[in-house]
């Protein structure tokens, strides 16, 4: 009987190849599982967003109907003679109290802002799902890819949670850009941040200066402008949120005092006018979706802050071979800003030639 001898090196190579294949298959399976979960998140956030948008519409309509009905009843309760019309007086007072409670709840949860949070979460999860599909189409995913995707899923869920409670702060003391991404890894060693090769892989000194110029304009103009607008809208929303319940509360007191000998006329004026003004305030605040506008401005600031961090993190890596291809990166930045490549280069050179306190009116972004 002839015994076949298999060389040890060939066995070892075969085992290593099999192990690599098993690892690749495991990574593929995990990334497909994450992709399914992300697709499910898109559907969930879309449904919840539509539900909360319906809340806003229904609550605005209900509060307006209640306050206008209460104002009408307050007016009717002043028509003589008195006793049968006591029902109008009591009904008006009760409706105003209900409207005050609803006002306080709606101002607390800000349904239009909740709906905008879910719309943005659905958009971000769609974008992440597309990026996962791109990874699967171009290469075998690595452990780094899996960790990065998982961190991004968790970061989006933290920024835009599905549960209603606990609520995210709707009236923050400090307005900052929304953050829905994990922090970029900064290079820890100082020696890695100096020297190194800065030519090649589509990168050049001119391109680096161009990207640094874009960062300066993003910080000085785009991010600062959207934060300023967010503060302005938040201030308006605070005023409207306190004014609505105050008007219905005053109207409730006025409706209860209609017919009193001493303050009858003033009570009637407060009961009728307070309800009408409360309906106007409710329509301006929630019909105009002021909370949604505030969230929109924060998200816009967050979009430009993410772009700034992405550029900064790329430039921190001094070895260009470890960066994304420079020409591809420049094209992505131009698309994010809604500019052509020539416009982006002109923008970078404009910022590079200006001082830090330049008051140019040029913004980096043209999309919004």
Determine the 3-state secondary structure of 135 from DSSP.
helix
pTM for the predicted model, two decimal places: 0.86
Report whether 126 contacts 285 (CB < 8 A).
no
Arithmetic mean of pLDDT over the chain: 87
Say yes or no to pLDDT of 294 above 80. Answer: yes
38-48 pLDDT tens trace: 999 999 999 99
**Non-local CB neighbours of 300 within 8 Å, separated by 6+ positions:** 226, 368
Between 73-82, 99-108, 157-166, the lowest mean confidence (pLDDT) is in 73-82
**What's residue 348's pLDDT?**
81
pLDDT class for 18, splitting at 50, 70, 90?
low
Distance CA 130, CA 132 (A): 5
What are φ and ψ of residue 299, in 5° steps? -70, -35
pLDDT class for 309, splitting at 50, 70, 90?
very high
CA 43 vs CA 46, 129, 292, 306: distances in Å: 5, 12, 21, 25
Name, of 13-22, 41-50, 139-148, 257-266, the range with top average pLDDT.
Answer: 41-50
67-79 pLDDT tens trace: 999 999 998 887 7
CA 289 vs CA 97, 114, 134: distances in Å: 24, 11, 36
pLDDT: is 303 or 144 the higher one?
303
Domain boundaries, given as residue ranges, for the chain:
16-352
Report whether 310 contacts 185 (CB < 8 A).
no
Determine the 3-state secondary structure of 13 from DSSP.
helix
Other CB atoms closer than 10 Å to residue 86's CB: what's the count?
11
Distance CA 131, CA 120 (A): 17
Helix count and strand count (H, E) for the chain: 10, 0
Q: Which residues pair with 203 in a beta bridge?
A: 200
Say yes or no to pLDDT of 4 above 60. Answer: no
């Amino acid at each position: 009987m002839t015994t076949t001898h298999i060389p040890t090196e060939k066995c070892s190579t075969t085992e290593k190849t099999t192990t690599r294949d098993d690892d690749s298959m495991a990574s593929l399976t995990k990334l497909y599982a994450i992709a399914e979960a992300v697709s499910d998140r898109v559907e969930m956030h879309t449904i919840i967003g539509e539900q909360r948008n319906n809340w806003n519409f229904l609550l605005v309509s209900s509060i307006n109907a209640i306050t206008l009905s209460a104002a009408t009843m307050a007016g009717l309760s002043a028509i003589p003679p008195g006793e049968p019309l006591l029902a109008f007086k009591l009904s008006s007072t009760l409706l105003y109290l209900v409207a005050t409670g609803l006002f306080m709840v709606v101002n607390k949860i800000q349904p239009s802002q909740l709906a905008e949070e879910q719309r943005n979460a659905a958009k971000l999860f769609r974008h992440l799902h597309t990026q996962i599909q791109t990874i699967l189409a171009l290469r075998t995913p690595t452990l780094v890819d899996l960790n990065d995707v998982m961190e991004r899923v968790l970061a989006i869920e933290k920024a835009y949670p599905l549960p209603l409670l606990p609520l995210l702060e709707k009236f923050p003391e400090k307005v900052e850009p929304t953050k829905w991404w994990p922090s970029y890894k900064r290079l820890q060693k100082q020696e890695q941040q100096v020297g190194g090769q800065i030519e090649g892989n589509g990168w050049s000194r001119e391109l680096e200066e161009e990207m640094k110029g874009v960062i300066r304009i993003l910080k000085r103009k785009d991010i600062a402008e959207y934060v300023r607008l967010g503060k302005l809208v938040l201030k308006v929303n605070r005023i409207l949120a306190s004014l609505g319940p105050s008007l219905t509360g005053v109207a409730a007191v006025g409706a209860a005092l209609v017919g009193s000998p001493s303050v009858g006329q003033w009570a009637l004026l407060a009961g009728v006018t307070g309800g009408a003004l409360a309906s106007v305030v409710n329509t301006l605040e929630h019909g105009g979706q002021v909370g949604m506008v505030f969230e929109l401005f924060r998200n816009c600031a967050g979009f430009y802050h993410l772009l700034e961090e992405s550029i900064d993190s790329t430039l921190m890596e001094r070895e260009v071979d470890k960066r994304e291809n420079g020409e591809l990166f420049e094209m992505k930045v131009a698309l994010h800003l809604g500019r052509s490549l020539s416009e982006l280069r002109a923008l970078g050179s404009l910022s590079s030639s200006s001082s830090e306190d330049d008051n140019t009116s040029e913004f980096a972004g043209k999309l919004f």
